[in-house]
Amino acid sequence: MELSKRIKELRTEKGWSQEVLAERIYVSRQTISNWETEKSYPDVQRPMILSKEMLIL
């Protein structure tokens, strides 16, 4: 599964808005939106932070 789809899937499973996830991993809501729409991708440190918050890796 593509990372963008997995981020959105897990975020919605937890009932989190993009804003909530953004606050938890210290990025903007627009950054989350860009990741989910594949306009940009997380930097190399973000997957580690995402995995701690969302258990995606």
Per 3-state DSSP, the chain is made up of helix, strand and coil in percentages (nearest 5) of 65, 0, 35
pLDDT tens digits for 31-53? 999 999 999 998 877 777 787 77
Q: The domain spanning residue 16 has which CATH number?
A: 1.10.260.40
Q: What's the total number of domains in the chain? A: 1
Predicted TM-score (pTM) of this structure: 0.81
**Domain containing 14: what range?**
3-54
Q: How far apart are CA 39 and CA 25, in angstroms?
A: 18
pLDDT of residue 1: 62
The H helix count followed by the E strand count for the chain is 4, 0
Residues with Cβ within 8 Å of 41's Cβ and at least 6 positions away in sequence, in order, are 3, 35
- List the Cα angle 49/5/24 in 5-degree steps: 30
